[in-house]
């Protein structure tokens, strides 16, 4: 029995851990296998290993241990340390201020900084993230526990949206509790090793927002507004909702802030300028930056290629906000 145990241990340690580059036992991914009645049992820690690599390692373990005389069956039990996941809510007091565009590009900008980021489109009634990320034809799957498995995008982030779960153009006519349950399914999905979830909330202060702050309290909220006074009045309502729930306000972002003429380079401000920055100072919150009113952002978004995935003036604006958000999370 000792000889076969030694062989099993050597075979298991001969498989390389993709994170450390050491053998599975040397890297403390697995203890020595247990063997009884022809069954070799392995307990494998898969923390920080994605689904694809988990499957490859399991196949390697089965192949290596089944090759040993006397082994009839190999059983691999995968475990994972609970990931501490930070939720960042992106809110606004009204629709049409560019909240979804900011959410998508901010998630991508964070991923380009090395963070493991997931994006949830919590706008149950008007989901737009599948279009923004070019994923309208991609559907999430379910794992063995019947939890949704997010769609992986080519932009380095994973994403879930009600827009992936219903037919295109289908109206979602749900009462508040159903919308809250849908949000729960998206947040409680199999996010793997994702460490930061960006939640693109619907506009206003309704049932989805209440479910979010009561059941899935965010680490912080970022408020999006356009410069004009009406939008800022609504933004104050969103701020009030979060502060009443003791959710920290990370800061304000001013969207559609200045249009640069592509021919002459002149800057005009059809929606005004500086309103969100002034409101930030008045309310005592940080001002995180401005996103320009740029036709390139609209065209890129319609084509499912967010500007933050490349370089340029628009990408720089999103990267600046991502940098300040990163500093806040690290602070």
Asked if 130 and 279 sit in the same domain, the reply is yes
In the chain the first and final C-alpha atoms are separated, in Å, by: 54
Asked if 159 and 261 sit in the same domain, the reply is yes
The reply to whether 93 sits in an annotated binding site is yes
Asked if 124 and 198 sit in the same domain, the reply is yes
Confidence band, pLDDT 50/70/90 cuts, at residue 126: confident
**Residue ending a domain, choose from 56, 79, 102:** 79
pLDDT at 13: 94
The first and second tokens of residue 196, run together, are 């930061």
Q: Looking at per-residue confidence, does 4 or 265 come out higher?
A: 4
Q: In whole angstroms, give the CA distance from residue 166 to residue 121.
A: 13
Asked if 50 and 167 sit in the same domain, the reply is no
**Residue ending a domain, choose from 27, 50, 79:** 79
Q: Looking at per-residue confidence, does 323 or 303 come out higher?
A: 323
pLDDT at 159: 95
Q: Tell me the residue range of the domain where 47 lies.
A: 2-79
Asked if 222 and 113 sit in the same domain, the reply is yes
Give the pLDDT confidence of 230-264 residue by residue, as tens digits.
556 777 888 988 999 999 999 999 887 766 666 66
CATH number (domain holding residue 318): 3.40.50.300
Contacts of residue 173, Cβ cutoff 8 Å, sequence gap at least 6: none
pLDDT at 80: 74
Q: Looking at per-residue confidence, does 209 or 320 come out higher?
A: 320
The first and second tokens of residue 129, run together, are 């993230």
The reply to whether 99 sits in an annotated binding site is yes
**Residue ending a domain, choose from 54, 79, 104:** 79
The HSE-up count of residue 244 (CA atoms within 13 Å, CB side) is: 10
- How many domains does one find in the chain? 2
The reply to whether 98 sits in an annotated binding site is yes
Q: Above 70 in pLDDT, residue 327?
A: yes
pLDDT at 192: 85
Q: In whole angstroms, give the CA distance from residue 41 to residue 104.
A: 43
pLDDT at 259: 62
The first and second tokens of residue 226, run together, are 């356009």
- Percent pLDDT > 70 in the chain is 86
Asked if 165 and 312 sit in the same domain, the reply is yes
Give the pLDDT confidence of 166-223 residue by residue, as tens digits.
666 555 655 556 766 778 889 989 998 899 999 999 876 677 888 888 888 899 999 9
Residue 103 near residue 51, CB atoms below 8 Å: no
pLDDT at 266: 61
Asked if 135 and 103 sit in the same domain, the reply is yes
Asked if 102 and 132 sit in the same domain, the reply is yes
Contacts of residue 37, Cβ cutoff 8 Å, sequence gap at least 6: none
Give the pLDDT confidence of 47-75 residue by residue, as tens digits.
778 778 889 999 999 999 999 999 999 99
pLDDT at 89: 95
The reply to whether 139 sits in an annotated binding site is no
Q: What is the DSSP letter of 16?
A: B
CATH number (domain holding residue 66): 3.30.300.130
Give the pLDDT confidence of 14-37 residue by residue, as tens digits.
999 988 889 999 998 999 999 988
Look over the chain and give the mean of its residue pLDDT values, rounded to a whole number: 85
Q: pTM for the whole thing?
A: 0.72
Asked if 31 and 121 sit in the same domain, the reply is no
Asked if 168 and 284 sit in the same domain, the reply is yes
Asked if 153 and 8 sit in the same domain, the reply is no
Asked if 21 and 164 sit in the same domain, the reply is no
């Amino acid at each position: 029995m000792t000889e076969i145990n030694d062989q099993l241990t050597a075979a298991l340690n001969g498989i390389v851990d993709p994170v450390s580059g050491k053998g599975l036992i040397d890297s403390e991914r697995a203890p020595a296998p247990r063997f009884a009645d022809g069954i070799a049992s392995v307990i494998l820690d898969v923390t920080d290993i994605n689904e694809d690599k988990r499957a490859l390692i399991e196949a390697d373990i089965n192949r290596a241990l089944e090759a040993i005389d006397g082994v009839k069956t190999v059983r691999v039990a995968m475990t994972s340390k609970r990931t501490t996941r930070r939720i960042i809510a992106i809110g606004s007091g009204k629709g049409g201020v560019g909240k979804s565009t900011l959410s998508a590009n901010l998630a991508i900008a964070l991923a380009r900084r090395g963070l493991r980021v997931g994006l949830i489109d919590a706008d149950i009634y008007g989901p737009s993230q599948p279009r923004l990320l070019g994923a309208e034809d991609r559907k999430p799957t379910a794992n063995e526990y019947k939890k949704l498995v997010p769609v992986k995008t080519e932009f380095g982030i994973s994403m879930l949206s009600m827009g992936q779960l219903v037919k295109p153009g289908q109206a979602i006519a749900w009462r508040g509790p159903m919308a809250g349950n849908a949000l729960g399914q998206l947040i409680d999905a199999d996010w793997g090793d994702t460490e930061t979830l960006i939640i693109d909330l619907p506009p206003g202060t309704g049932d989805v927002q209440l479910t979010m702050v009561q059941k899935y309290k965010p680490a912080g909220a970022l408020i999006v507004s356009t410069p004009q006074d009406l939008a800022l009045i609504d933004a104050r309502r969103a701020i009030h909702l979060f502060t009443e729930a003791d959710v920290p306000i990370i800061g304000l972002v001013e969207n559609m802030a200045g249009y640069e003429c592509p021919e002459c380079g002149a800057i005009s401000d059809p929606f005004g300028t500086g309103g969100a920055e002034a409101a930030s100072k008045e309310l005592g919150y940080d001002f995180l930056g401005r996103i320009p009113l740029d036709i390139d952002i609209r065209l890129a978004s319609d084509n499912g290629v967010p500007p933050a995935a490349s370089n340029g003036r628009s990408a720089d604006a999103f990267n600046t906000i991502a940098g300040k958000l990163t500093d806040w999370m690290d602070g």
